[in-house]
Structure 1
Amino acid sequence: MRVVLRVLFLLPFAFVAACVFAALFLVLAVIGLGPDGAYVGPYWGETALLTLGVAAAAAVVAALPAFVAILAAEILAIRSVLFYLLLGGSIGIGGGLFLHAPDGVLAAADAQLFGATGCVGGLAYWLMAGRGAGLAQPEESQAV
Protein backbone atom coordinates (compact mmCIF):
# COMPACT_ATOMS: atom_id res chain seq x y z
CA MET A 1 0.00 0.00 0.00
CA ARG A 2 2.87 2.35 0.80
CA VAL A 3 4.35 1.86 -2.66
CA VAL A 4 1.03 2.65 -4.32
CA LEU A 5 0.60 5.86 -2.32
CA ARG A 6 4.16 6.91 -3.08
CA VAL A 7 3.77 6.31 -6.82
CA LEU A 8 0.29 7.81 -7.13
CA PHE A 9 0.70 10.87 -4.93
CA LEU A 10 4.22 11.72 -3.75
CA LEU A 11 6.17 11.27 -6.99
CA PRO A 12 3.80 13.33 -9.20
CA PHE A 13 3.48 16.02 -6.53
CA ALA A 14 7.26 16.22 -6.15
CA PHE A 15 7.70 16.46 -9.94
CA VAL A 16 5.16 19.29 -10.25
CA ALA A 17 6.64 21.12 -7.26
CA ALA A 18 10.15 20.74 -8.69
CA CYS A 19 8.93 22.27 -11.96
CA VAL A 20 7.44 25.21 -10.05
CA PHE A 21 10.64 25.79 -8.04
CA ALA A 22 12.77 25.58 -11.18
CA ALA A 23 10.44 27.98 -13.00
CA LEU A 24 10.53 30.44 -10.10
CA PHE A 25 14.32 30.30 -10.15
CA LEU A 26 14.38 30.93 -13.90
CA VAL A 27 11.90 33.79 -13.76
CA LEU A 28 13.69 35.50 -10.89
CA ALA A 29 17.07 34.97 -12.54
CA VAL A 30 15.94 36.47 -15.82
CA ILE A 31 13.63 39.33 -14.82
CA GLY A 32 13.26 39.47 -11.08
CA LEU A 33 16.36 40.26 -9.07
CA GLY A 34 18.70 43.19 -9.41
CA PRO A 35 22.44 43.17 -8.72
CA ASP A 36 21.89 43.88 -5.02
CA GLY A 37 19.38 41.03 -4.64
CA ALA A 38 16.34 43.30 -4.37
CA TYR A 39 13.23 42.44 -6.37
CA VAL A 40 13.00 44.72 -9.41
CA GLY A 41 10.65 42.77 -11.69
CA PRO A 42 6.96 43.27 -12.39
CA TYR A 43 4.29 43.02 -9.73
CA TRP A 44 4.27 39.79 -7.74
CA GLY A 45 0.99 38.68 -9.31
CA GLU A 46 2.46 38.97 -12.79
CA THR A 47 5.57 37.12 -11.65
CA ALA A 48 3.42 34.34 -10.20
CA LEU A 49 1.48 33.96 -13.46
CA LEU A 50 4.69 33.95 -15.49
CA THR A 51 6.16 31.36 -13.13
CA LEU A 52 3.14 29.09 -13.56
CA GLY A 53 3.39 29.41 -17.34
CA VAL A 54 7.09 28.57 -17.32
CA ALA A 55 6.43 25.68 -14.91
CA ALA A 56 3.79 24.26 -17.25
CA ALA A 57 6.19 24.47 -20.20
CA ALA A 58 8.95 22.89 -18.12
CA ALA A 59 6.66 20.07 -17.01
CA VAL A 60 5.67 19.29 -20.59
CA VAL A 61 9.25 19.35 -21.88
CA ALA A 62 10.77 17.46 -18.95
CA ALA A 63 8.01 14.90 -18.43
CA LEU A 64 9.38 12.02 -20.50
CA PRO A 65 13.08 12.22 -19.49
CA ALA A 66 12.13 12.84 -15.87
CA PHE A 67 9.73 9.89 -15.90
CA VAL A 68 12.48 7.59 -17.16
CA ALA A 69 14.95 8.94 -14.59
CA ILE A 70 12.46 8.68 -11.71
CA LEU A 71 11.56 5.14 -12.73
CA ALA A 72 15.23 4.14 -12.83
CA ALA A 73 15.92 5.82 -9.49
CA GLU A 74 12.99 4.07 -7.84
CA ILE A 75 13.86 0.64 -9.24
CA LEU A 76 17.58 0.94 -8.47
CA ALA A 77 17.00 2.83 -5.18
CA ILE A 78 19.28 5.72 -6.18
CA ARG A 79 19.17 8.29 -3.39
CA SER A 80 22.25 10.37 -4.23
CA VAL A 81 21.69 14.10 -4.43
CA LEU A 82 24.44 14.25 -7.06
CA PHE A 83 22.39 11.94 -9.32
CA TYR A 84 19.38 14.26 -9.13
CA LEU A 85 21.49 17.41 -9.58
CA LEU A 86 23.28 16.07 -12.66
CA LEU A 87 20.12 14.64 -14.13
CA GLY A 88 18.15 17.83 -13.48
CA GLY A 89 20.93 19.92 -15.00
CA SER A 90 21.08 17.77 -18.11
CA ILE A 91 17.29 17.82 -18.48
CA GLY A 92 17.42 21.61 -18.05
CA ILE A 93 20.03 22.01 -20.79
CA GLY A 94 18.09 19.64 -23.04
CA GLY A 95 14.91 21.60 -22.41
CA GLY A 96 16.74 24.82 -23.16
CA LEU A 97 17.88 23.39 -26.46
CA PHE A 98 14.35 22.24 -27.22
CA LEU A 99 12.58 25.47 -26.29
CA HIS A 100 15.16 28.19 -26.79
CA ALA A 101 17.38 27.13 -29.67
CA PRO A 102 15.54 25.69 -32.66
CA ASP A 103 18.81 25.56 -34.60
CA GLY A 104 20.40 23.33 -31.95
CA VAL A 105 22.91 25.93 -30.72
CA LEU A 106 22.68 27.27 -27.18
CA ALA A 107 24.87 30.15 -26.01
CA ALA A 108 27.12 29.41 -23.04
CA ALA A 109 25.26 31.79 -20.72
CA ASP A 110 21.92 30.28 -21.69
CA ALA A 111 23.26 26.76 -21.19
CA GLN A 112 24.47 27.73 -17.72
CA LEU A 113 21.13 29.31 -16.88
CA PHE A 114 19.09 26.33 -18.06
CA GLY A 115 21.51 23.91 -16.40
CA ALA A 116 21.24 25.77 -13.09
CA THR A 117 17.46 25.83 -13.45
CA GLY A 118 17.44 22.07 -13.95
CA CYS A 119 19.70 21.62 -10.92
CA VAL A 120 17.23 23.61 -8.80
CA GLY A 121 14.44 21.34 -10.02
CA GLY A 122 16.53 18.23 -9.36
CA LEU A 123 17.38 19.39 -5.85
CA ALA A 124 13.75 20.21 -5.11
CA TYR A 125 12.67 16.76 -6.32
CA TRP A 126 15.40 15.06 -4.28
CA LEU A 127 14.33 16.93 -1.13
CA MET A 128 10.71 15.85 -1.54
CA ALA A 129 10.90 12.35 -2.99
CA GLY A 130 14.39 11.38 -4.11
CA ARG A 131 15.84 10.85 -0.63
CA GLY A 132 13.44 7.96 -0.15
CA ALA A 133 13.74 6.40 -3.60
CA GLY A 134 13.29 2.65 -3.43
CA LEU A 135 12.66 2.65 0.33
CA ALA A 136 9.08 1.45 0.04
CA GLN A 137 10.15 -2.17 -0.31
CA PRO A 138 8.19 -4.65 1.84
CA GLU A 139 11.08 -5.62 4.13
CA GLU A 140 11.88 -2.00 4.99
CA SER A 141 8.34 -0.69 5.24
CA GLN A 142 7.61 -2.61 8.46
CA ALA A 143 9.80 -0.41 10.66
CA VAL A 144 8.24 0.54 13.97
Structure 2
Amino acid sequence: MSALHLLGRLFAILFGYCLAIVAASLFLTFYVPGWAPVEWISQHWAMGPDFFVYGYRTSPDMAETIDRVARVTMGLMSASAVGAMAFVPAGLCIVASEALRLRSAIFHVLAGGGISLALLAVTFMPASGPARLPDDWNLFLAAGFIGGVVYWLIAGRGAGIVGPSVPPDQA
Protein backbone atom coordinates (compact mmCIF):
# COMPACT_ATOMS: atom_id res chain seq x y z
CA MET A 1 0.00 0.00 0.00
CA SER A 2 1.66 3.14 -1.18
CA ALA A 3 0.88 6.68 -0.13
CA LEU A 4 -0.08 7.53 -3.69
CA HIS A 5 -2.58 4.66 -3.76
CA LEU A 6 -4.09 5.84 -0.48
CA LEU A 7 -4.32 9.41 -1.78
CA GLY A 8 -6.08 8.18 -4.92
CA ARG A 9 -8.57 6.20 -2.83
CA LEU A 10 -9.31 9.24 -0.64
CA PHE A 11 -9.85 11.32 -3.77
CA ALA A 12 -12.27 8.71 -5.15
CA ILE A 13 -14.21 8.70 -1.87
CA LEU A 14 -14.45 12.49 -1.76
CA PHE A 15 -15.36 12.78 -5.44
CA GLY A 16 -17.97 10.03 -5.13
CA TYR A 17 -19.51 11.66 -2.06
CA CYS A 18 -19.72 15.06 -3.74
CA LEU A 19 -21.32 13.68 -6.90
CA ALA A 20 -23.75 11.56 -4.88
CA ILE A 21 -24.89 14.63 -2.97
CA VAL A 22 -25.29 16.64 -6.19
CA ALA A 23 -27.28 13.84 -7.84
CA ALA A 24 -29.59 13.50 -4.83
CA SER A 25 -30.09 17.27 -4.60
CA LEU A 26 -30.89 17.59 -8.30
CA PHE A 27 -33.41 14.77 -7.99
CA LEU A 28 -35.05 16.53 -5.04
CA THR A 29 -35.15 19.83 -6.89
CA PHE A 30 -36.77 18.40 -10.00
CA TYR A 31 -39.20 15.90 -8.48
CA VAL A 32 -40.22 17.00 -4.98
CA PRO A 33 -42.92 19.66 -5.12
CA GLY A 34 -42.01 22.77 -3.17
CA TRP A 35 -38.35 21.80 -2.70
CA ALA A 36 -37.24 24.77 -4.79
CA PRO A 37 -39.40 27.88 -5.16
CA VAL A 38 -38.94 28.08 -8.92
CA GLU A 39 -42.67 28.26 -9.64
CA TRP A 40 -42.72 31.64 -7.92
CA ILE A 41 -39.76 32.80 -10.00
CA SER A 42 -41.35 31.76 -13.28
CA GLN A 43 -44.71 33.33 -12.34
CA HIS A 44 -43.42 36.70 -11.15
CA TRP A 45 -40.27 37.31 -13.16
CA ALA A 46 -39.67 37.11 -16.84
CA MET A 47 -36.67 37.48 -19.08
CA GLY A 48 -36.80 39.79 -22.05
CA PRO A 49 -35.17 39.29 -25.44
CA ASP A 50 -32.08 41.15 -24.24
CA PHE A 51 -31.79 38.76 -21.24
CA PHE A 52 -32.73 41.37 -18.67
CA VAL A 53 -35.39 40.44 -16.15
CA TYR A 54 -38.60 42.43 -16.50
CA GLY A 55 -41.87 42.36 -14.61
CA TYR A 56 -44.01 40.73 -17.28
CA ARG A 57 -44.86 37.18 -18.26
CA THR A 58 -43.00 35.51 -21.11
CA SER A 59 -43.84 32.82 -23.57
CA PRO A 60 -44.29 29.30 -22.19
CA ASP A 61 -41.03 28.17 -23.83
CA MET A 62 -39.00 30.88 -22.13
CA ALA A 63 -40.73 30.26 -18.80
CA GLU A 64 -39.85 26.57 -19.08
CA THR A 65 -36.21 27.46 -19.76
CA ILE A 66 -36.16 29.82 -16.78
CA ASP A 67 -37.72 27.09 -14.65
CA ARG A 68 -35.07 24.54 -15.63
CA VAL A 69 -32.16 26.93 -15.09
CA ALA A 70 -33.58 27.98 -11.73
CA ARG A 71 -34.07 24.35 -10.69
CA VAL A 72 -30.50 23.38 -11.60
CA THR A 73 -29.18 26.44 -9.77
CA MET A 74 -31.27 25.68 -6.69
CA GLY A 75 -30.25 22.02 -6.83
CA LEU A 76 -26.56 22.87 -6.93
CA MET A 77 -26.94 25.38 -4.11
CA SER A 78 -28.97 23.00 -1.95
CA ALA A 79 -26.32 20.31 -2.45
CA SER A 80 -24.09 22.11 0.03
CA ALA A 81 -26.79 22.03 2.71
CA VAL A 82 -27.67 18.39 2.01
CA GLY A 83 -23.98 17.46 2.01
CA ALA A 84 -23.38 19.21 5.31
CA MET A 85 -26.34 17.46 6.96
CA ALA A 86 -25.40 14.03 5.59
CA PHE A 87 -21.67 14.33 6.26
CA VAL A 88 -21.49 12.49 9.59
CA PRO A 89 -23.87 9.58 8.84
CA ALA A 90 -22.45 9.16 5.35
CA GLY A 91 -18.92 9.29 6.75
CA LEU A 92 -19.77 6.51 9.18
CA CYS A 93 -21.19 4.39 6.35
CA ILE A 94 -18.13 5.07 4.20
CA VAL A 95 -15.75 4.11 7.01
CA ALA A 96 -17.78 0.95 7.65
CA SER A 97 -17.73 -0.02 3.98
CA GLU A 98 -14.00 0.60 3.71
CA ALA A 99 -13.12 -1.22 6.93
CA LEU A 100 -15.38 -4.20 6.27
CA ARG A 101 -14.70 -4.22 2.52
CA LEU A 102 -18.41 -3.94 1.68
CA ARG A 103 -18.52 -3.48 -2.08
CA SER A 104 -22.13 -4.48 -2.61
CA ALA A 105 -24.40 -2.09 -4.48
CA ILE A 106 -27.24 -3.11 -2.18
CA PHE A 107 -25.31 -1.93 0.89
CA HIS A 108 -24.62 1.48 -0.64
CA VAL A 109 -28.19 1.92 -1.93
CA LEU A 110 -29.71 0.96 1.43
CA ALA A 111 -27.23 3.19 3.26
CA GLY A 112 -28.18 6.14 1.04
CA GLY A 113 -31.88 5.50 1.61
CA GLY A 114 -31.42 5.12 5.35
CA ILE A 115 -29.41 8.32 5.56
CA SER A 116 -32.04 10.24 3.58
CA LEU A 117 -34.90 8.99 5.75
CA ALA A 118 -32.97 9.73 8.93
CA LEU A 119 -32.23 13.27 7.76
CA LEU A 120 -35.85 13.75 6.74
CA ALA A 121 -37.11 12.53 10.12
CA VAL A 122 -34.68 14.78 11.99
CA THR A 123 -35.18 17.94 9.94
CA PHE A 124 -38.89 17.78 9.15
CA MET A 125 -40.79 19.61 11.86
CA PRO A 126 -44.45 20.34 11.13
CA ALA A 127 -45.89 23.65 12.33
CA SER A 128 -48.62 21.95 14.31
CA GLY A 129 -49.85 18.48 15.05
CA PRO A 130 -47.94 15.28 15.64
CA ALA A 131 -44.54 14.83 14.08
CA ARG A 132 -44.76 12.50 11.10
CA LEU A 133 -43.06 12.16 7.75
CA PRO A 134 -44.46 14.19 4.86
CA ASP A 135 -46.68 12.55 2.27
CA ASP A 136 -43.90 12.49 -0.34
CA TRP A 137 -41.34 10.76 1.90
CA ASN A 138 -40.82 8.13 -0.78
CA LEU A 139 -39.27 10.75 -3.07
CA PHE A 140 -36.70 11.54 -0.38
CA LEU A 141 -36.03 7.82 -0.08
CA ALA A 142 -35.52 7.66 -3.85
CA ALA A 143 -33.08 10.58 -3.64
CA GLY A 144 -31.06 8.62 -1.08
CA PHE A 145 -31.12 5.58 -3.33
CA ILE A 146 -29.84 7.69 -6.23
CA GLY A 147 -27.05 9.08 -4.06
CA GLY A 148 -26.11 5.56 -2.97
CA VAL A 149 -25.97 4.31 -6.56
CA VAL A 150 -23.85 7.26 -7.69
CA TYR A 151 -21.44 6.76 -4.79
CA TRP A 152 -21.22 3.03 -5.48
CA LEU A 153 -20.48 3.64 -9.16
CA ILE A 154 -17.63 6.02 -8.38
CA ALA A 155 -16.07 4.80 -5.14
CA GLY A 156 -18.12 2.03 -3.54
CA ARG A 157 -17.16 -0.72 -5.98
CA GLY A 158 -13.58 -0.44 -4.81
CA ALA A 159 -14.27 -0.22 -1.08
CA GLY A 160 -11.61 -1.81 1.07
CA ILE A 161 -8.93 -1.94 -1.60
CA VAL A 162 -6.52 -0.04 0.62
CA GLY A 163 -5.81 -2.17 3.65
CA PRO A 164 -3.24 -4.41 5.21
CA SER A 165 -1.64 -6.52 2.56
CA VAL A 166 -1.60 -10.26 3.15
CA PRO A 167 1.44 -12.18 1.89
CA PRO A 168 0.57 -14.69 -0.84
CA ASP A 169 1.62 -17.70 1.22
CA GLN A 170 -0.89 -16.82 4.00
CA ALA A 171 -3.87 -16.20 1.71
Same fold by TM-score greater than 0.5: yes
Q: What are the superposed Cα offsets for residues 13-72 of structure 1, whole Å, 9 maximum, x if unpaired?
A: 11011000011111111259xxxxxxx584332112110122111101100000011001
2:67 counterpart of 1:60 = no
How many percent of aligned residue pairs carry the same amino acid?
35
In structure 1, what is the equivalent of residue 120 of structure 2? 96
Amino acid at match of 1:6: R
Superposition pairs for residues 1-12 of structure 1, below 5 Å?
A: 1=3, 2-7=5-10, 9-12=11-14
For the 8 Å contact 1:23–1:117, the answer to whether it is kept is: yes
Q: Which has the higher helix share?
A: 1
Decide whether aligned partners of structure 1 residues 104 and 70 sit closer, same or farther in structure 2, where only a CA change above 3 A counts: farther
Q: Distance in 1 between matches of 2:136 and 2:67?
A: 25
- For residue 160 of structure 2, give the secondary structure of its aligned residue in structure 1: coil
Are the equivalent residues in 2 in contact too, given 1:23–1:54 (CA < 8 A)? yes
- Looking at structure 2, the residues matched to 98 and 41 of structure 1 have their Cα atoms a distance apart, in angstroms, of 34
Q: Work out the number of aligned pairs and report it.
A: 131
**Where has structure 1 moved over 4 Å in runs of 4 or more?**
none
Cα distance in 1 for residues equivalent to 2:72 and 2:91: 26
Give the TM-score, by structure 1 length.
Answer: 0.81
Q: Specify the SS of the correspondent of 2:132.
A: coil
Q: TM-score, normalized by length of structure 2?
A: 0.69
Cα pair 1:26 1:117 within 8 Å, conserved: yes
Structure 2: segments with no counterpart, 5+ residues: 37-63, 167-171
Matching residue of 2:147: 121
Distance in 2, Cα, partners of 1:55 & 1:11: 17
In 1, the alpha carbon distance for the partners of 2:125 and 2:140 equals 12
The amino acid that maps onto 1:28 is: F
Is the 2:112–2:148 Cα contact (8 Å) retained in structure 1? yes
Instruction: Provide the alpha-carbon RMSD of the alignment.
Output: 2.2
Q: Which runs of 5+ in 1 are unaligned?
A: 33-39
Distance 2:111 2:125 in 1: 20
For 1:78-105, what per-residue CA distance to the aligned partner results, in whole angstroms no more than 9, with x for missing partners?
0000101111001011111223336642
